[in-house]
């Protein structure tokens, strides 16, 4: 539909120019979750020439603290792009973002497909498809004039704040700790800013993964072997200033860091 493409064009132009996105014009503004994800699909086609192919997904709003912060009571999905899937220790440039924030997350790499025909999925059935886990920093970008007033559909249409993901060393499924009990700590410049546990993301990190598998299945899509998925922050977003270093530590999963220059 024409309004889908126009909304995606506006979002893509703002994103690539590092301009703050205002409210979309009413005639192209997605007003429900279905239209939001259709705009998001069109946006991916416009951004992949710049950011690389899609390599997985981010899931936002999976913890009570983030749902309260964003005033959105349900999970929201977005894309991960190849050029923004980075290794621990990476140095980012503040000038490449509008306002960079970091989140303390557990990520997974899929070891098997989860086809739509297998839905509905549960935490137990998606667990069998996981190859490994990572300590992760999702870095997000506040590229909006006022995100508080845009509404969930517009934020979802723009990949829900997604800017990229930094991964630590992988931990095999057989060597992983109890993910529900694992503690994640966010340290900024060596000082702990916040902490949470795996239970904070919908009760267990496998629950957001099941939500995503079912969400994709409902749209005729699927999680594929090799996809990377980050399942949501156990802490409230921490906004960085140039010169800050962020380090996330997870009991039994290791640590991951980035620096903003």
Residue boundaries of the structural domains of the chain: 2-260
Q: Is the pTM of this model over 0.85?
A: yes
Judge whether 178 and 99 are in contact, CB under 8 Å.
no
Residues in the chain, pLDDT under 50: none
Q: Which of 13, 85, 79 is nearest to 41 (CA)?
A: 79
Q: Is the dihedral of CA 164, 148, 3, 224 positive or negative?
A: positive
What CATH number matches the domain at 2-260, 3.30.830.10, 3.40.50.10860, 3.90.850.10, 3.60.21.10?
Answer: 3.90.850.10
**Dihedral angle computed from the Cα positions of residues 240, 75, 49 and 86, in that order, rounded to the nearest 10 degrees:** 50
Residue 70 pLDDT = 87
Q: How far apart are CA 121 and CA 128, in angstroms?
A: 11
Judge whether 197 and 235 are in contact, CB under 8 Å.
no
Residue 149 pLDDT = 87
Q: Which of 100, 108, 57 is nearest to 78 (CA)?
A: 57
Judge whether 105 and 234 are in contact, CB under 8 Å.
yes
Q: Which of 2, 193, 24 is nearest to 102 (CA)?
A: 193
């Amino acid at each position: 539909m024409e309004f889908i493409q126009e909304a995606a064009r506006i979002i893509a132009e703002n994103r690539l120019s590092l301009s703050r996105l205002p409210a979309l014009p009413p005639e192209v503004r997605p007003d429900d979750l279905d239209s939001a994800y259709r705009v998001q699909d069109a946006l991916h086609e416009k951004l992949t020439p710049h950011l690389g192919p899609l390599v997985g997904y981010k899931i936002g709003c999976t913890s009570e603290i983030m749902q309260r912060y964003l005033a959105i009571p349900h999970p929201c999905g977005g894309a991960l792009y190849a050029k923004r899937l980075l290794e621990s220790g990476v140095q980012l440039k503040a000038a490449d973002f509008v306002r960079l924030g970091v989140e303390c997350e557990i990520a997974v790499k899929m070891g098997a497909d989860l086809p739509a025909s297998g839905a509905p999925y549960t935490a137990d059935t998606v667990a069998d498809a996981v190859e490994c886990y990572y300590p992760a920093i999702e870095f997000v970008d506040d590229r909006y004039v006022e995100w508080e007033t845009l509404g969930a559909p517009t934020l979802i249409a723009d990949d829900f704040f997604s800017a990229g993901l930094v991964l630590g060393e992988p931990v095999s499924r057989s060597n992983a700790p109890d993910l529900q009990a694992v503690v994640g700590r966010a340290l900024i410049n060596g000082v702990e800013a916040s902490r949470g546990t795996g239970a904070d993301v919908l009760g267990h990190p496998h629950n957001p993964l099941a939500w995503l598998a079912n969400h994709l299945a409902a749209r005729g899509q699927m999680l594929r072997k090799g996809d990377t998925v980050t399942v949501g922050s156990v802490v409230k977003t921490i906004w960085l200033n140039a010169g800050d270093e962020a380090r996330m530590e997870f009991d039994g999963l290791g640590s991951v860091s980035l620096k903003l220059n």
